[in-house]
Structure 1
Amino acid sequence: MVAAVNVLVLKGLRVLVVDDEEDSQTLLAFILEMQGAEVKTVASAESAFHLLADYQPDLLLCDIAMPDEDGYSLLQRVRSLMGHSGQIPAIAVSALAPEVSLSESLAVGFQAYVPKPVDFDELIATILRVCPSQEE
């Protein structure tokens, strides 16, 4: 679990979590909120894409393997259709084979990849690396 000394290390960070599994959404949101982040969750790429019009997150945390549209496709749409605002930092989260997922995730524009099951210390460290303005 995340060490107590890291409490609120993500204070003020706006995160959009996209994951088709409700348990994953809930757990990720809980951990991020305990670190001070403001979190919105959605269960599909389509919902995320529509929410991005109104909610401007500082970070996109996205599952790769989702029904209908995967995380790769979502990020490609965000990057191509949203112009400058499409350059939101993004971290892929997946239970797919890490060696394949990492290279493909980076190729489509994710800044990092975190395998499932998520190690929360690794996730927080990855967020701090991808969103350096969060480091104190």
Structure 2
Amino acid sequence: MSNNFKDAHPLKDIECTNCDNYHHQEEIKNIEIFQGRTILVVDDNEDILALITCVLKRYGIRVITASSALEAFEIVKKLTVDLLISDIDMPGESGYSLIQKIRKLRSVQIREIPAIAFSKSAKNRAYKQALASGFQTYMKNPSNPTRLITEVAKLLMHSCNRSFSLFGDYSYLRKR
């Protein structure tokens, strides 16, 4: 992978005409929670990357894409990312492995990036494994733009409003 993240820059030339039916442009511009945010989307499928990028860009979100877990891991170590959206089933390293590596990093800011997992599988096992691995939520393939943006908003609002760690420090509950 190159040091300049040539392939990780926001997708600029995506046609977003199909997204026009979901929301009015005036409504989109008034959603402050999305302004100035950067989301990293990870998937080996270019069509899924394009779809998610299209939806997120309509809300004024900067989107960085990666086609593998390895590439995504390098990006989160070097660039500020407000949210991670990752496919679980990728060739080579999985999304589960990616989030586990991120959660072990020393930097709290990086380690606690909110994350959404997605997959083609709707199995309950995939949902449980995603949460156990370190994702905050799981979606079956994000083909529903309204549900996707709702989950993104929930996690971004939660990360803005909290003054405590994503995972919390509950040591004060232990008996002394």
Segment of structure 1 superposing worse, 48-57 or 63-72: 48-57
Tell me: CA distance 1:19–1:6, structure 2 relative to 1, closer, same or farther (3 Å): farther
Q: Distance in 2 between matches of 1:104 and 1:82?
A: 23
Indicate if the aligned counterparts of 1:6 and 1:35 stay in contact, CA closer than 8 A: no
CA offset at residue 82 of structure 1?
Answer: 4.2
Instruction: Provide TM-score, normalisation by structure 1.
Output: 0.90
5+ residue gaps, structure 1, are none
Structure 1 match to 2:56: 32
Q: Which runs of no fewer than 5 residues in structure 2 stay unpaired?
A: 1-20, 162-176
- How far is the alpha carbon of 1:57 from its aligned partner? 0.5
Please tell me whether Structure 1 or Structure 2 has the larger radius of gyration of its CA atoms: 2
**Alpha-carbon distance between aligned partners in 1 of 2:55 and 2:124, rounded to the nearest angstrom:** 26
Indicate the structure with greater strand content: 1
Mapped partners of 2:100, 2:107: distance in 1? 11
Q: Which residue is equivalent to 2:44?
A: 20
Matching residue within 56, 73, 81 for 2:105: 81
Alpha-carbon displacement from aligned partner over 1:90-110 (angstroms, at most 9, x marks no partner): 000111234122111111111
Aligned to 1:110: 135
Decide whether the 8 Å contact of 2:37 with 2:62 is kept in 1.
yes
Give the direction of change, closer, same or farther, for the CA distance of 1:100–1:52 in structure 2 (3 Å limit).
Answer: same
Task: Pick one of 118, 127, 130 that aligns with 1:93.
Answer: 118
Match of 2:67 among 14, 32, 43: 43
- TM-score, with length taken from structure 2: 0.71
More relative contact order in 1 or in 2 (CA 8 Å, sep 6+)? 1
